[in-house]
Amino acid sequence: MNKRLCLLLALLPVTAMANLKTLTTPGVAPDAVTAVKMYFSGNINEEKITELTMALDEANMRFKNAHDLYLYLNSGGGDLDSAHAAYLAIKSSRIPVTTVDMSMTASAATLLFCGAKNRVMLTDTTILIHPPTVNQNEKSSAPDSLELKRQWSGHYVDMLKNVYRQCSTLSDEAMNKALYSEDAHLFLNNQEAENIRMATATEEQIHAAEVAYFISDVTGRDKG
């Protein structure tokens, strides 16, 4: 029994990292790595954010001489709680992180983008800020359930506002409008994002790095 348990525990990290892929320049020792890049694409959920935080921790522990970590984002959003956890992990990285909008950074993905001091958009990319959505269950018509939904909605609005205050010059009035009504959402291009300092620069090329991590949604082939 103990041998079987040990075998199971040994396999757990492999299972947890099933969607995380890594490329390393052949012949480069960990101490020689100066830059790391990570690509995060698709939906934000608990599993993928766990993979992202594991990748961040691994990079911080292995590459002692790295001075740049580029996190490339292409995401329409997802789970706000997971996104907030990623925001804190990015802010806490020993290696300074530069977040890069690679195509679309929307909704919950803006929290990841805001986790870094340097926030770059590639040319012709976009940022979407809009109201948080609280999923309704089959009891959603009950008064107590509606009140709980209101409380969660208020919590997420406050969370987003607290983050946006740290990474933009948006006024509380502008945030209240954008986070209350879909009709008032903010769909920002490069210049508009720089005008409110959500983006700190626009670049045209992807940075080179000795190590690259890839975190993406599970495909049919991956499931097989």
- 161 belongs to a structural domain: no
Question: Is 142 part of any domain?
Answer: no
Q: Which amino acid makes up residue 71? A: L
**What pLDDT was estimated at residue 57?**
98
Question: What is the Cα–Cα distance from 121 to 123, expressed in whole angstroms?
Answer: 6
Instruction: Report if residue 141 sits inside a domain.
Output: no
Q: 75 is written with which tokens?
A: 């995401």
Does any domain span residue 125? yes
Handedness of CA 212, 200, 42, 135 (dihedral sign): positive
Range of the domain at 49: 17-129+190-223
If you average pLDDT over every residue of the chain, what do you get?
89
**Residue 155, in any domain of the structure:** no
CATH code of residue 206: 3.90.226.10
For 51-103, write each residue's pLDDT tens digit: 999 999 999 999 999 999 999 999 999 999 999 999 999 999 999 999 999 99
Query: pLDDT at position 55, please?
Result: 98
> What is the pLDDT at residue 33?
98
The whole-number pLDDT of residue 222 equals 46
Q: Give the start-end residues of each E strand in 169-210.
A: 186-188, 201-203
What confidence tens digit (pLDDT) does each residue in 167-196 have? 999 999 999 999 999 999 999 999 999 999
Instruction: Tell me 78's DSSP state.
Output: B
Contacts within 8 Å (CB) and 24+ apart, 216-222: 216/19, 216/39, 216/40, 216/41, 216/42, 217/19, 217/41, 217/42, 217/43, 217/48, 218/18, 218/19, 222/18, 222/19
Is 1's pLDDT higher than 60?
no
Looking at the structure of the chain, the number of domains it has is: 1
Q: How confident is the model at residue 119 (pLDDT cuts 50, 70, 90)?
A: very high
Task: Confirm whether 23 is domain-assigned.
Answer: yes
Q: Which whole-number Å values give the CA distances from 162 to 11, 52, 61, 154, 176, in the listed order?
A: 39, 22, 30, 12, 12
The whole-angstrom separation of Cα 83 and Cα 163 is 11
**Which of the four pLDDT bands, split at 50, 70 and 90, describes residue 5?**
very low
Is 87 a domain residue?
yes
- Which of 93, 91, 49, 92 has its CA nearest to residue 67? 93
Strands (E), the chain: 20-24, 35-41, 68-75, 97-106, 118-122, 126-129, 186-188, 201-203, 211-215
The tokens for 20 are: 């995380």
SS3 194: helix
